[in-house]
Chain A
Amino acid sequence: MSIYLCKLCSVLLLEHFGPVVQTVGDDLLKYDRRSLRAIKAAVNLPLNKIKEVMCVLIKYGFVEHSKNDKLNEYIIVHERILMILRYPRYMFFVKSLLGDEAEIMLEELLRRGYETASKIIVKTYQRLKQLSSDRQQPVEILKEKFESLVKHQFLMRSIITPAALEDPIDLNVEKLDFSFPDLNLLALSRMANGIAANPGDNNIYWRINFDRFTQDIRDQIMVSAITKRFDDNAGELMRQMLNLMYLRTAEWRATSNPIPYVEIKDAVRKLKYPMLIQHLDQYLCLIEEDTCQFLKRVGDSGGGQFSINMKQAFTQLTWTTLENIVLERFGSKAARIFRLVRTRKYVEQEQIQQLAMIPAKEAKHLTYTLLQENYIHVQELKKTTVSNAPTKIFFLFHIDLDQVVGMEISHCYHALYNTIQRRDHENTVNKRMIEKHLRVQTLTSNLKEHGATEEQLNDIAEMMTPSEKLELGKVQDIIKKLGASELQIDETLFLLTMYSRYQEK
């Protein structure tokens, strides 16, 4: 496991949960699974603090608890900590799919780790009320929103139940439960207005079904790839195909079960894509015949049967990603060589310069650079041509895709870690100014509430000198740019992780 994965998890814990959680987290990250006693022996913190941290880690799902031979063990889940990077993406996704209320609910659940539906609904009600009166929604509507989140399987019943605690085998069997409890609406609206009541779902906790989001983001990548390659019609067709895949295929299968043409046609008819309806056959053929190989025709009955090749799709997307990385790091000629080696599978140096039409010396230099940076690999082949001649050694260049992907995944971890470190550094260096700005802001809003005059407000605003304001603007831009690059690096990481995931099967 990459050391940068652990380091990245560690700084993510620090940023969101503070140094104490990080200290305990580091110990768990080092050993993967630990008992409380073992943590206590390694970490110099009072036991109560450690327990408190463990509660936090369990609450947010970063640590799973298992009883092994009656010994309580805590297992850290690295991937789950990395998800923190993707929370904004998930929230944005839900916002565009189900609207602002659903987004607030998701945010509340992310903030709390797990929670009852009633508490989330009440909190959402209160937050909306605070935002503005015209966004106010009655609890009935909010309950429906919550239910639609469950219906889309973004949320699931928490698998940590009293029964699971007693019999931890339950924890290993992932039984996803999406059954929604009966809620007392009257009690809900009383609670929303600050009156204690029993909504009827005590102890029924909801968690976020991250796997659902992972699949949705995965699908989004495929749809936008097809859109970029062809057009919006083709992209929409891909989206419909993916929807049809879910109806007949188990999650994370390498290929979907065959989707009959008739069903595709039915799905497309419901859309407002006249060009797609008119040329459906052509679009199917177009995607199927393309080198990206997302779709495959697997039968001819009933106008044709089509299968989505998920594994192949992510292999192609990964190649494209790696080719782009090589292109931007070493230039277009290096990318040409990289693609050439990919296409020819095993190729000699001489063939490389001939086929790539690059001067011999430059071609060699680039090939060796790629070799040195581990983007391509070399295999020796010994062969005796003439009996009395010395053994001739052929050097064949090839690409071990899994190896390159593994390297780039840890490159992403490293880049994310560095970016977060740098952002933290910028925050620390400019702490005084940022805090001053914060104080001025708080003071201004407080005074505004108390009806301060324009003059008073101006006085406060002038507490920051123009040069300070200028400097602050710069720092804010820097922090923003670093934050945005975290989001963008994570996109690359996500795609490469998808490739690895399909390879494991």
Chain B
Amino acid sequence: MDVRGEFSSEREINRIVDVGESPEFIEEKIISLAQAKPKGISDKDISAEIPDLAPARKAAAINKLLAQGYFDLFKQGGTLLYRLKDPSKAKSVKGADNEEKVVYNIIEEAGNKGIWIRDIRFKSNLMPTQLNKILKSLETKKFIKAVKSVAASKKKVYMLYNLEPDRSVTGGAWYQDQDFEAEFVDILNQQCYRFLEQKKDSTKNCKDGPIGARNIAFASSKEVWKFISDLGISKVKLSVEDLEMILNTLIYDGKVERTLSSDGSNLYRAVEPLLSPPGLIRTPCGVCPVRKNCCDVGEITPKKCHYIKEWLE
């Protein structure tokens, strides 16, 4: 188990303590503990983790888990150890039939990107009602979990229970729950531009000629990242890649250009547009939403036009 796993199980534990100690949560806690210690946990370990757990409840929980095939029981140096079974083996032991196995495999294949119920159905050829039952059963056994995907709101994807969902599912730093934080993105967009613009303005007195000035105006994504981090406007920790996503929106805004530096990192620079806004859109006819209806007769004509009238006043 990697560091990230440990981190997540710790978080889980905290949550349980907050909520209270229902049997499910005790079981979950024991599983988490076992996940953290792949070599196995002893009775002592459990008591240390949940000191105020009554022995009877502890025994009930462990028995239930053993019965469901979560744990292997073995002896090591006179101590009884519970070790978490590999889940893929676990499901084949008890409470899982062939269909569940098929569905489980399909979900496992999908990895941490998850898979839509519709795709599972196509791949498994199961009836919707049957599939729903299987998914529910796998979910209660905590083999799999349903995660809301940001790509299509209201759509759930399924993945193995112990997986951390991919960024494409959670949306990474840009999502709070399932909502895209447009304002946050806009602010970062503005701040990144401000930084690059200031950098460009600082080249005005550059004595090294235009190329020298241009090169000073370039900033690497890391520099921009540092600037944004120092600003402290983000409550979540952003990566350099996150910032590059923001910088790309500035490129699409036509305000920034990107170049590759000799060491392969991305360099960004604020640029001036080639033209001022064209004359056409400085006039009402240029931005007219009803131009298609505008002709010489009827209610929408240049003579009766409200937009022109307003513009002329």
Interface secondary structure of B, over-half rule: helix
Decide yes or no whether B153 CB sits under 8 A from chain A: yes
Q: How far, in Å, is A471 (CB) from chain B's closest CB?
A: 14
The reply to whether the CB of A328 lies closer than 8 angstroms to some CB of chain B is yes
Q: A321-B275, A425-B303 are in contact. Are A414 and B252 (CB under 8 A)?
A: no
A445, chain B: closest CB distance, angstroms? 30
- Give the size of the chain A interface in residues (CB under 8 angstroms): 66
Chain B residues lying within 8 Å of A282, measured Cβ to Cβ, are 209-212
Interface stretch of the complex, out of B10-18, B96-104, B130-138, B285-293: B285-293
- Complex CA gap A339/B92 in Å reads 53
Cα-based distance from A320 to B278 in the complex (angstroms): 9
Does any Cβ of B come within 8 Å of A230's Cβ?
Answer: yes
Contact call A418/B248, Cβ cutoff below 8 A: no
Q: Which of B241-267 contact A (CB under 8 A)?
A: 245-246, 248-249, 251-254, 257
A336 touches B252 (CB 8 A): yes
Q: A425-B303, A488-B282 are in contact. Are A357 and B257 (CB under 8 A)?
A: no
A233 beta carbon closer than 8 Å to chain B: yes
B279 within 8 A of partner (CB): yes
Which residues on A sit within 8 Å (CB–CB) of B214?
286
Q: Which residue of A lies closest to B181 (CB)?
A: A359
Q: Does B302 contact A425, Cβ atoms closer than 8 Å?
A: yes
- How many whole Å from A352's CB to the nearest CB in chain B? 10
Assembly CA distance A358 to B174 (angstroms)? 10
Asked if A360 is at the interface (CB within 8 A of a chain B CB), the reply is yes
Is B61 on the interface with A (CB-CB < 8 A)? Answer: no
Q: When A278-B209, A286-B210, A481-B312 are in contact, do A229 and B283 touch as well, CB less than 8 Å?
A: no
- The reply to whether A229 and B305 form a contact with Cβ atoms under 8 Å apart is no
- Interface residue from B152, B252, B281 paired with A340 (Cβ < 8 Å): B252
A279, A325, A336, A357: which contacts B209 (Cβ < 8 A)? A279
Please count how many residues in chain B sit with their CB below 8 Å of the partner chain's CB atoms: 49
Q: Which residues of A contact B296 (CB under 8 A)?
A: 421
Q: With A283-B210, A386-B122, A422-B302 as given contacts, are A328 and B279 in contact (CB-CB < 8 Å)?
A: no
Contact (A325, B281) CB under 8 Å given A282-B211, A339-B252: yes
In the bound complex, residues from chain B placing their C-beta under 8 Å from that of A279 are: 209-211
Given contacts A422-B305, A425-B302, contact A355 B252 (CB under 8 A): yes
Within the complex, what minimum Cβ distance (angstroms) separates A215 from chain B? Answer: 19
Cα A317 to Cα B273 in complex, Å, equals 10
B151 adjacent to chain A (CB < 8 Å): yes
Contact of B280 with A by CB under 8 A:
yes
A323-B308 Cα distance, complex, nearest whole Å: 24
Contacts of B281 in A (CB 8 A): 324-325, 328-329
Question: Across the interface, which residues of B come within 8 angstroms of A317, CB to CB?
Answer: 274-275
Closest to B118 in A: A389
| 7 A-B interface contacts by CB (under 8 A) | A228-B274, A282-B212, A283-B210, A291-B271, A325-B281, A328-B287, A355-B252
5 extra interchain contacts, Cβ-Cβ under 8 A, other than A324-B278, A418-B308? A229-B272, A229-B273, A355-B249, A356-B249, A490-B279
A interface vs B, CB < 8 Å? 225, 228-231, 233-234, 278-279, 282-283, 285-286, 291-292, 316-317, 320-321, 323-325, 327-329, 332, 335-337, 339-340, 343, 350, 355-360, 362, 386, 388-389, 408, 411-412, 414-415, 417-419, 421-422, 425, 478, 481-482, 485, 487-493, 495
Chain B interface (Cβ < 8 Å from any Cβ of A): 122-123, 151-153, 174, 180, 182, 185, 189, 209-212, 214, 245-246, 248-249, 251-254, 257, 271-283, 285-287, 291, 294, 296, 301-303, 305, 308, 312
